[in-house]
Amino acid sequence: MTTALGMAMFVTVPQSYADDHARCQRQIERAESKLDQAIRKHGERSRQADQRRRDLNTQRERCWNARTTVGGTVMTIAGTMIATGTATRV
């Protein structure tokens, strides 16, 4: 029973991380798209483009913080990703 549970955790954690990473990537791409649209519509130095830049930076920071949060499925320490006892270099 313990072995099966351990194997299930080992298999699901990397998939969960991959799903979270993919979701973050989509959100960042969406924010980049909104910035591009604001620049085309209102100009490079417009108030709207500045707001979209802030939104993009916020999204990037949110994804980075989620990746490095202790207590989540993945924790980064000095550039090494730790997930359920395995270590992978990022």
Question: Which residues make Cβ contacts (< 8 Å) with residue 77, sequence separation at least 6?
Answer: none
SS3 15: helix
pLDDT per position as a tens digit, 29-84? 999 999 999 999 999 999 999 999 999 999 999 998 877 654 445 444 444 444 44
The residue with greater pLDDT, 18 or 12, is 18
Q: How far apart are CA 54 and CA 49, in angstroms?
A: 9
**Domain chopping of the chain, boundaries:** 2-89
Which pTM was predicted?
A: 0.59
For position 68, what pLDDT does the model report?
Answer: 65
Q: Which of 46, 62, 24 is nearest to 37 (CA)?
A: 46
pLDDT of 89 > 60? The answer is no
